[in-house]
Each structure stands twice: as structure tokens, then as C-alpha cells.
């Protein structure tokens, strides 16, 4: 269950010293075809890392031959030297693979401002070793090589009738809208053209990674890349493929949420009966980014007042005095006042279910987030990322 689950893909994960621990730190994923279709979505942050600036150009023609990913340095705000590093990474991989450099996507993750000559030498070494180690069994190694503060690798797959989708992800903090410090590679052996791949990828990320908002912070390096080999020779109904791809993305998003830095609760915020889906997303996100609410959940305190205070900052259509709030199945607030007592709510499980019923329409959205904990503060004050 990895990026090498679908036919037509090879991958590798190697160690070249970017991580001080000696763990794997460069991954290569190659599409052996026959199709070389690719699509990608990127961070919406205007502060873009060099690999983003490069890869945005690569995917424009809908062709992606390979993805090179490194941990141990974000290569962001490292000047023209840093951009040249990304360029050389793609050129080295292209030369070894016998493809064009303009079809090689590059992804980096780590500390912003890191990308000196030693970094470049190690990444290029990683390309050499990675290409030399490529294998149809290499998906698991690749998923290990992209980990940073992740406590475990994230992999997912979908098995269709004679076709499949595989995926890997990394990310344990800065999970936010418009994607966020996540690197994701998705592979499939179905037959798709570039337009279909792009549409399916955008639809799948919109309701999964885009709605994972661990701490409201948006990264400079996020990228989700889909590569299509067509090696199964099977054309799949567009809706069926879109649903399957969304399922794989949702699975990976849940794994990212479950491994968010320092979190002790995985909070699912379901906003129901909104006037529009955009309203539902805005309301859910306002709660996902409310430090006071998130600290209360860490303290197992069903503090619904902080939910109302958060959603009151939005422009969504609703009457603050006609909203129902449910926590773990208990309605704690209705019609602008308290309902069942706080003591009825058991917040000890890690999985936390918050429902906000806006009572104005029929639209719904789900936002995933985490609580705000001592460990979150510790990890993000002690670890430079």
C-alpha cells in the first residue's frame, strides 16, 4: 500500500545525511508509463519555496516523469543559489532517467532559509543513490524518506477492478488551508488525460487536505502531485475515479491529523444546515483556528461559549441566537443559551466530534483540526522548522 502499488511506478528512499539521525531523507518516484500524465496543487502562500516556483512550471504541460523529494531543508528563501539547487536536482534526475528536466517535479521540506552548498551536494547525492535504488517495491522506503517530525509514515491505497491508486504523505504541523506543510505524492495506473487528472486532483484536495487546519499556519512548500501511468490500460468512470481519489486523500488527511505535532485530540468539526458550502467552511475554520477553544478541548472542557465567540467573527449567514452546538453527541447550546450540562460531555477520547447546526440552509462541510497542547508549544518552540 504505497505509491508503487499501481502498475508503472518505481520508487526509492535513501539516506544521504540531510537528517542528522542518518535516516532516509531523499525520495524518488518515477512514472514508467506508458502515460506520463501529471497534475499538482501547490500552497497558496505567496511566499513560495524554490521547489514550488520550479514545479509550478513543470506541471503546466500536464506531463510529469518523476518526483524528487527531500527532507532536511526547505530550500525556501535561499536566493538564486537555492533556485539553482532545485534546477540542478531536476537536471540530475532527468539525465539519469533519460527524460527532460522540465518534466521532473522537486519537493523539499525542512527549515526555511536552509539550502547551502552542503545541502545541494547531499540532495544531488540523493538523486544519484535514489535513481540507482529504484524498484517497484520502493514505495515504503520513499514514504520514510519524506518524514520530518512525523512519528510514522503515511501511506494509503485504493484497489479498483484491475486498477489502483497509491499515495504517501508527510506532514505533522503547519497543516492549514490551501494545503500546508504537507508533501503528497499520488499515483494511479488508470488511463486519464491531463485535464481529467487535474480536475480529479483539485476536487479531491478541496475536501480533504484543504479542510485540514491543524494550527492555521500555511507553509511555503506544500505540494500534492498526482502521476498517471495508464499501465492498467483501464479507463474508469470519471465519478468513480474522483470518489476513489478523494477517499485516498481523505485517508491521508486523517493520518496527518492523527499525527499532528503534540496533539491529544483529533477534532472533527461538522457544520450543518449552512446557507452555502463556503459559509460552512468559513464557520468551521473559525473554530479550528480559535486557540481558546482548542486549549479548552485539551483540558477536556466542553466550552461551547468559545465556539460561539469564534463563529461570531465570520460573515456567514446565521443568527448567533439560533445555533445548536453538539459535542460528542450532547447538545450543549441551543437558541443562544445553555442546553445539557457540561458534565454530560465526555471529552476523554482522542476523537472529538463537534457539530455546529446553523439552522439556515442545507449545506454542510467538515473541517479537521487538533487541540492546542503543551506538546505543541514545546515542539514548535524547540524545533526550528
| Residues acting as catalytic residues | 181
* Residue written as grid cell 477553544: 293
- In degrees, to the nearest 5, what angle opens at C-alpha 255 toward C-alphas 64 and 324? 120
348 is in an annotated binding site: no
Taking CB under 8 A as the rule, does residue 381 contact a second copy? yes
Residue closer to a second copy by CB (options 209, 304) is 304
Taking CB under 8 A as the rule, does residue 220 contact a second copy? yes
Query: Interacting stretch for a second copy, rule CB under 8 A, among 33-41, 134-142, 202-210, 299-307?
Result: 299-307
Separation CA 244–CA 248 (nearest Å)? 6
Of 48, 154, 285, 368, which lies in the binding site for a second copy, with binding defined by CB under 8 A?
48
Taking CB under 8 A as the rule, does residue 216 contact a second copy? yes
Taking CB under 8 A as the rule, does residue 208 contact a second copy? no
Q: Name beta bridge partners: 246.
A: none
In the region spanning residues 55 to 114, those forming contacts with a second copy, defined by CB under 8 A, are 74, 76-79, 82, 111-113
Taking CB under 8 A as the rule, does residue 349 contact a second copy? no
302-341 mask for a second copy (x: CB under 8 A)? -xxxx-xxxxxxx-----xx-----------x-xxxx---
Classify residue 59 by burial, with Cβ atoms within 10 Å: 0-12, 13-18, 19+.
buried
Residue closer to a second copy by CB (options 242, 275) is 275
Least CB distance to a second copy at residue 338 (A): 5
Residues in the interface with a second copy (CB under 8 A) total 60
Taking CB under 8 A as the rule, does residue 360 contact a second copy? no
> Considering only CA atoms, which of 212, 157, 155 is closest in space to residue 184?
155
Query: Interacting stretch for a second copy, rule CB under 8 A, among 14-22, 39-47, 248-256, 351-359?
Result: 39-47
- Residues at the binding site for substrate are 148, 170, 181, 261, 380, 385
Chain residues binding a second copy by CB under 8 A are: 44-48, 74, 76-79, 82, 111-113, 173-174, 215-220, 289-292, 295-296, 298-299, 301, 303-306, 308-314, 320-321, 333, 335-338, 372-374, 376-378, 380-382, 384-385
Annotated binding-site ranges: 148, 170, 181, 261, 380, 385
Amino acid at each position: 500500500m504505497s505509491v508503487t502499488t499501481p502498475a508503472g511506478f518505481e520508487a526509492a528512499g535513501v539516506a544521504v545525511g540531510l537528517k542528522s539521525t542518518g535516516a532516509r531523507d531523499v525520495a524518488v518516484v518515477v512514472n514508467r508509463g506508458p502515460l506520463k500524465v501529471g497534475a499538482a496543487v501547490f500552497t497558496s502562500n505567496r511566499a513560495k519555496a524554490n521547489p514550488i516556483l520550479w514545479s509550478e512550471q513543470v506541471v503546466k504541460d500536464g506531463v510529469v516523469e518523476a518526483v524528487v523529494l527531500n527532507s532536511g531543508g526547505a530550500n525556501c528563501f535561499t536566493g538564486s543559489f537555492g533556485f539553482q539547487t532545485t534546477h540542478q536536482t531536476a537536471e540530475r534526475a532527468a539525465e539519469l532517467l533519460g527524460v527532460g528536466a522540465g518534466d521532473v517535479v522537486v519537493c523539499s521540506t525542512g527549515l526555511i532559509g536552509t539550502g547551502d552548498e552542503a545541502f545541494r551536494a547531499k540532495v544531488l547525492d540523493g538523486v544519484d543513490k535514489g535513481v540507482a535504488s529504484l524498484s517497484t517495491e520502493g514505495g515504503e522506503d520513499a514514504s520514510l524518506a519524506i518524514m520530518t517530525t512525523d512519528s510514522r509514515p503515511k501511506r494509503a491505497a485504493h484497489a479498483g477492478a484491475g486498477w489502483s491508486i497509491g499515495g504517501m504523505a508527510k506532514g505533522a504541523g503547519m497543516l492549514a488551508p490551501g494545503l500546508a506543510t504537507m508533501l503528497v505524492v499520488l499515483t494511479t495506473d488508470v488511463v486519464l488525460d491531463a485535464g481529467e487528472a487535474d480536475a480529479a486532483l483539485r476536487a479531491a484536495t478541496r475536501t480533504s487536505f484543504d479542510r485540514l487546519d491543524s494550527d492555521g499556519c500555511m507553509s511555503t512548500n506544500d505540494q500534492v502531485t498526482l502521476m498517471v501511468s495508464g499501465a492498467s490500460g483501464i479507463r474508469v468512470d470519471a465519478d468513480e475515479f474522483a470518489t476513489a481519489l478523494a477517499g485516498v486523500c481523505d485517508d491521508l488527511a486523517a493520518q496527518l491529523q492523527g499525527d499532528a505535532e503534540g496533539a491529544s485530540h483529533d477534532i472533527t468539526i461538522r457544520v450543518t444546515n449552512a446557507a452555502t458550502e463556503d459559509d460552512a467552511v468559513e464557520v468551521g475554520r473559525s473554530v479550528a483556528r480559535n486557540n481558546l477553544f482548542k486549549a479548552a478541548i485539551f483540558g477536556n472542557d466542553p466550552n461551547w461559549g468559545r465556539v460561539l465567540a469564534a463563529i461570531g467573527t465570520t460573515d456567514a449567514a446565521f443568527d448567533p441566537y439560533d445555533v445548536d452546538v453538539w459535542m460528542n453527541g450532547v447538545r450543549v447550546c441551543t437558541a443562544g443559551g445553555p442546553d445539557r450540562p457540561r458534565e454530560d460531555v465526555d471529552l476523554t477520547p482522542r476523537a472529538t466530534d463537534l457539530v455546529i447546526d446553523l439552522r439556515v440552509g442545507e449545506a454542510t462541510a467538515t473541517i479537521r483540526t487538533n487541540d492546542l497542547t503543551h506538546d505543541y508549544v514545546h515542539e514548535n518552540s524547540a524545533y526550528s522548522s
